[in-house]
Amino acid sequence: MTALRSADDELEGIRQTLRTREAGTYISEILRARDSALARWRDRGGAPLRVWVQPLSRVDDWHRKYVTEVMRAFTAWDTLALPVRFRFVEDSSRAHVHVTFIDRFREPISGRTRWARDENYWITDASITLAVHHRTGEILEDDAMHAMALHEVGHLLGLDHTVDPSSVMAPKVRVRSLSNADRATARLLYSVPAGPVTPARR
């Protein structure tokens, strides 16, 4: 009984933190989308996540500036000083995160993030795929590639979509930089443990 009470007390503390700090964030939208659970990377004690960005591509219209824009996107999230930081590596076999480029998606999207988590909702590894062309064939300009990379790194960190069009995490990205809500939501997510925030049914 004591262990159950302790777990319930911990969950109540997490919910209290979320309630106290949710103003100016879209954490409630993430909880609705994720069945009242939060997924994120573990605090890494200063050891950065190793990120490999595909350095060359044979996709038509691909150019090296895309690599720079993707790296700039990771750096923008890094300025939040979350307990998860990034470091770029040249050896893909040593990376926790892989970023690759394709020609286009069949769906009306320009990026996709896939990550795996353990049973406790801690993210363990991830990959980001970015398209050089929109589904209809138009090339992504450099600033659009930067914006899409910002959006996908947000997903990589554990964020989900928001209805706020001024946020980089809106389903259709219309901005080119992180909003205050993006920053506040990421900081709030990384202030609580991963996992469900409602008590398990007994």
CATH of domain 2-195: 3.40.390.10
Beta carbons of 148 and 140 less than 8 angstroms apart:
yes
Residue with tokens 């980089």, as numbered in its chain? 168
pTM of the model: 0.94
What is the per-residue pLDDT for 2?
55
The answer to whether 42 touches 117, Cβ cutoff 8 Å, is: no
Average pLDDT score, the chain: 94
**Packing angle between helix 180-189 and helix 2-21, nearest 10 degrees?**
170
Could you read off the pLDDT of 20-46 as tens digits, one per residue? 999 999 999 999 999 999 999 999 998
Q: Count CB atoms within 10 A of the CB of residue 1.
A: 5
SS3 of residue 173 by DSSP: coil
pLDDT of residue 10: 86
pLDDT of residue 124: 95
pLDDT for the residue numbered 5:
59
What is the predicted pLDDT for the residue at 8? 79
Q: Residue 201 has what pLDDT?
A: 47
- What value does the mean pLDDT take over residues 121-145? 97
Mean pLDDT of 72-101: 97
Identify the pLDDT of residue 202. 43
Q: What percent of the chain has a predicted confidence (pLDDT) above 90? A: 91
Beta pairing, strands 195-196 & 122-131: unpaired
Domain extents in the chain: 2-195
